[in-house]
Amino acid sequence: MKAYLGLALAGAVTLGGAVTAMSVQAADKAGTPQVAAQHAKGKEVYDYWCATCHGEEARLAGTLALQTKYKGKTPAALALRTDLQPALVEYYVRNGVAWMAPFRKTEVSDADLAAISGYLTAPLEQRGLSAEALALAKGAKK
Amino acid sequence: MAAGPAGISAAVFADGLAEMRSAVGDQWVFTSDEDLHTYRDFYSVLWDEPEERLASAAVAPANVEEVQAIMRVANERGIPVYPISTGRNLGYGGAAPVYSGSLVIDLKRMNRILDVSESNASCLVEPGVSYFDMYRHLKETGSKLWIDVPDPGWGSMVGNALDSGGGYTTAPYRGHFEAQCGIEAVMANGELFRTGMGALPGAETWQQYKMGIGPSLDGLFRQSSLGVVTKMGFWLFPEPEAHLSGSIDVWRFEDLEPLVALMNELEYGNIFNGMPSISSPVLSSGMMFQEIPEPDVLHKMVQDTGKAAWRASMSFYGPEKVIRAQWEYVKERFAQFPGARPNEGQFIKLPLSPEDMEKVSKARFGIPSMEIFAVGSNGAGSFNPSDGHIWFSAIIPRTGKGYIEANRVMRRECARLNIPLFMFSPAVTCWTRSFVLFAAVPVYKDGESNKKLRASVNEIIRICADNGWGEYRCPPAFQDQVMDAYSYNNHMLRRVNESIKDALDPNGIISAGRYGVWPKHLRQGRGK
């Protein structure tokens, strides 16, 4: 399973703009810093499982829901947030909320979940964000 | 830990789980409350009630041999099992079993793409392969083939087809079960079965010719309780040169009947191959289509607003010069309607440029996404999101009369029964030859409102049946009632299904109750 998933994801990153994970597209377009090596796995899993709803595009389901909920008090895209704790990330992944159903261990393993939590709580500069996204996240932080 | 299956002693169940652990590995058998929580139907209309359908355990095999081992263990002990591919058909049941206490066989780990043939335009996949996986694989390998995707892209190609899911590209691919070619399934006793040419050793035509010899048995596995599907072939769509969409507005109430007839002729005659729609600009707002009024009222609304009574939309996939000519021909044919106003939509050269990617409806280009879920993000304006939704999806006649009658009956009855709706479609054409009427109903994790909702939906199912309309798919809580509606000759459909069930799964272990077919020992009480 892992071997295949890894292969598929590598393909997605190579092709950049052709895939739907918007954070991948955004990163490619802006020629941004690479994600820190220790968070590469976390970003990979995040892009695969989370970014399709929680990516930077405003119209995505999770991003739109968090924008509606927080009204800009915190960035709506998860990868731009600096206030997340691993326990919170893990709670929502395994328990779901509103329309987001929980994710099973056959989808997101405990190791993958720890990697996602690590990625979402890493310093912003280590997340491989576009310059634009980084500025947005830092602006929101002030 | 959830209760074990009814009628199975704790010792036998524990022994079965131990055997399964040795077949798949300890970490792939789940029994804790915490793990089983992730197998609940998150949009269940029975949430937290004693009747909620819950798994007793879950097991996740990695290959066909492990599935066979699990089935042998379950069959020997009479342990009820409920296979899921990815369990992401939210709104139609998710990962939870129909019969509480069943052991879920989670096939997500079986996610290999076994073959993609460019020249045959086909693929062979395992049930854990999602639309995202296949899309990425095709891009990565430089394939010129498209998949047809349902709204959410995270689902299983196999599971969605087996549930009769549909998509948005051209007619041969939109009905996902119709686009399958070749099924492999593990039967109740652990034996392996292949349909069509897969039954002939050495045949290279498994994904080329569906039928093989004798009765066609693919249908045994659609919405069924007869086997665990471990491989499935699909026909894929060679990427066309271009795409063109167009629509034509017409203005009179009485135009609807000939409009539907013309659209049918043009679609069935292959003048357009993309998914058509017939909507009403004057009666639609956002995702809601209001009740169709009497002709004089409709005409006044048209006059007051300047909006058309009906809009026929069609799309074309193919070489530019062909599809432009087809669009010209469509416009000529619509000239029979007084004041017919054509609107040329998007013309797009393929493959999609990154700029075009931003402005198209992805599903119409076979691109998976999760964008559809945004309809639930802001609670339709004020932030009071529901906890999910269920779909009501009835097959109705593809005529102007069918379109109007189903709309009126459904709108009136939903209003009378206080069924909240956040989406009510005009008649949709996922499948050629019939309409489907879709209504989406928000669901809350609240027993009182769910109780009322269940009673109301059962009433709607009955009313639809009285009109000759049946659902093509539904959440587990309503599967018995929907099957009940298909009652010709004293429920002969269900009785034949039960005979097949008894023959192929004599211990009644697979997916008890799925789509109203119960094994002998549970038939009397329908699982209760």
* Tokens encoding A11: 């393909």
- Chain B residues whose CB is inside 8 A of the A1 CB are 62, 109, 111, 128
Minimum distance, in Å, between the CA of residue A126 and any CA atom of chain B: 26
Chain B residue with minimum CA distance to A99: B388
Instruction: Report the candidate in B462, B457, B507 with the shortest Cα–Cα distance to residue B483.
Output: B462
- Is B2 an interface residue toward A (CB < 8 Å)? no
pLDDT at position A4 is 33
pLDDT tens digits, residue range B409-422?
Answer: 999 999 999 998 88
Question: Given pLDDT bands bounded at 50, 70 and 90, which one contains residue A90?
Answer: very high
- pLDDT in the model for residue B384: 55
Active site residue B488: no
Does residue B379 surpass a pLDDT of 60? no
Nearest-by-Cβ selection for A64 from B34, B354, B377? B377
8 Å CB contact between B340 and B252: no
Q: In this predicted model, what pLDDT tens digit does every residue of B39-76 receive, in sequence order?
A: 999 999 999 999 999 999 999 999 999 999 999 999 99
Q: Which DSSP string do the residues of chain A spell out, in sequence order?
A: -HHHHHHHHHHHHHHGGGSS-HHHHHHHHHTPPPPPGGGHHHHHHIIIIIHHHHSS-TTSHHHHHHHHHHTTSS-SSGGG-S---HHHHHHHHHH-BTTB----TTTS-HHHHHHHHHHHTS-GGGTT--HHHHHHHHHHH-
Q: Does B222 participate in catalysis according to the annotation?
A: no
B174 residue type, one letter: R
What is the amino acid identity at position B438? F
The residue of chain A nearest to residue B134, with distances taken between CA atoms, is A8
Residue B238 sits at φ, ψ, to 5 deg, of -60, 130
In one letter, which amino acid is B288? M
Confidence band of B378 (pLDDT split at 50, 70, 90): low
Mean pLDDT of the residues in chain B = 95
CB contact under 8 A, B37 and A101: no
Q: How far is it, in rounded angstroms, from Cα B104 to Cα B83?
A: 6
Over residues B468-492, the mean pLDDT reads 97
Chain B contact present for A6, CB below 8 A: no
Q: What is the mean pLDDT of residues B241-256?
A: 98
Residue B223 pLDDT exceeds 90: yes
User: Which ipTM score applies to this complex?
Assistant: 0.93
Kindly name the residue from B252, B472, B486, B523 that is annotated as catalytic.
B472
Work out the pLDDT band at B453, boundaries 50, 70, 90. very high
Measure in Å the smallest separation between the Cα of B288 and chain A Cα atoms: 19
Residue ranges of A 62-121 with Cβ closer than 8 A to chain B: 62, 64-65, 68-69, 94-96, 98-99, 101-107
Q: Does the distance separating the beta carbons of A1 and B109 come in below 8 Å?
A: yes
Residue A12 has pLDDT above 60, yes or no: no
Q: Is B184 a residue whose pLDDT tops 90?
A: yes
Cα(A53)–Cα(A72) distance, integer angstroms: 17
Chain A residues in contact with B40 (beta carbon < 8 A): 102
Residue A85 and residue A124: Cα distance in Å, rounded? 14
CA B148 to chain centre: 12
Q: Note whether B140 contacts A53, CB cutoff 8 Å.
A: no
What pLDDT was estimated at residue A24?
Answer: 41
A53 at B interface, C-beta within 8 A: yes
B238: its two tokens: 């060679």
Strand order in the sheet with B81-84: B29-30, B57-59, B103-106, B81-84
Residue A19 CA, chain-centre distance (Å), reads 15
Is B134 an 8 Å CB contact of chain A? no
State the alpha helices, DSSP H only, in B110-211.
131-140, 157-162, 171-174
Please name the residues between 55 and 94 in chain B that touch chain A, using a CB distance below 8 Å.
58, 60, 62, 86-88, 90, 94
Amino acid (one-letter) located at B27: Q
Active site includes B412? no
Q: What is the pLDDT of residue B2?
A: 55
Q: Does the distance separating the beta carbons of A4 and B377 come in below 8 Å? A: no
Q: What's the rounded mean pLDDT across residues B372-391? A: 70
pLDDT > 60? residue B433: yes
Angle CA A13–A17–A21, to nearest 5? 65
Q: What is the pLDDT of residues B495-526, one digit of tens each?
A: 999 999 999 999 999 999 999 999 999 999 88
pTM: 0.93
Cβ atoms of residues B136 and A19 within 8 Å: yes
What pLDDT shows up at residue B381? 47
A4 and B112 within 8 Å at the Cβ level: the answer is yes
**Rounded mean pLDDT, B250-266:** 98
Q: Which of A56, A60, A61 is closest to A75 using CA atoms? A: A56
The pLDDT value recorded for residue B188 is 98
| CB spacing of B377 vs A61 below 8 angstroms | yes
pLDDT at A20 > cutoff 80: no
For residue B157, the chain A residues in CB contact (below 8 A) are none
- Is residue A30 very low, low, confident or very high in pLDDT (cuts 50, 70, 90)? very low
